[in-house]
Amino acid sequence: MITINMRDSRPIYEQVKDSLRRLIVSGALPADEKLPSVRELAAQLVINPNTIQRAYRELEHEGYIVSVPGKGSFATPHFGADSRRVSELLAAFDDAVAELRYLGVDGAELKKRIDEQEAKKDEA
């Protein structure tokens, strides 16, 4: 489910991109699943098709989707990660950990959370 929050400070294309990435990563949009066409999604979200096209282009650059001329865009199977995206996520993780530590969350709680995420991954 993709939702647009007009009060969000992020550009709309980033909200669309983040929502689609979340759907792909969570498995809600499985590998090789066809994404809605640019026009379809733009009509559903009542936004400019160029906005959707930009989100799709960036997701393709990051390796989350692949576009096939004349067929559409598809979620890609996970073969590896875009090193730039990994760096961004690790920096965000470091920032979150630093803030959580500042707020009094101890290392054991953080490790427990990571272990829980690993367990979820192993169940899937």
CATH number, domain containing residue 56: 1.10.10.10
Span 38-56, average pLDDT: 96
pLDDT reading at 110 higher than 90: yes
pLDDT at 121 over 90: no
Give me the pLDDT at residue 120, please.
82
Residue 4 in domain: no
User: Is this prediction's pTM over 0.85?
Assistant: no
Does residue 113 lie in a domain region?
Answer: yes
Claim to verify: residue 53 and residue 88 sit in the same structural domain: no
45 and 19 share one domain: yes
Note whether 66 and 90 are same-domain residues: no
Same domain, 107 and 67: no
Q: Is 74 helix (H, G, I), strand (E, B) or coil?
A: strand
Residues 66 and 102 in one domain: no
**What pLDDT, on a 0 to 100 scale, did the predictor assign at position 124?**
60
Dihedral pair phi/psi, residue 8, rounded to 5°: -70, 140
111 and 89 in a common domain: yes
At residue 81, the pLDDT reads 60
Helices (H), 10-82: 12-26, 38-45, 49-62
Flag whether 18 is in a domain: yes
Rounded average pLDDT over 15-41: 93
pLDDT at position 53: 97
Which structural domain range is residue 87 located in?
83-123
Structural domain count of the chain: 2
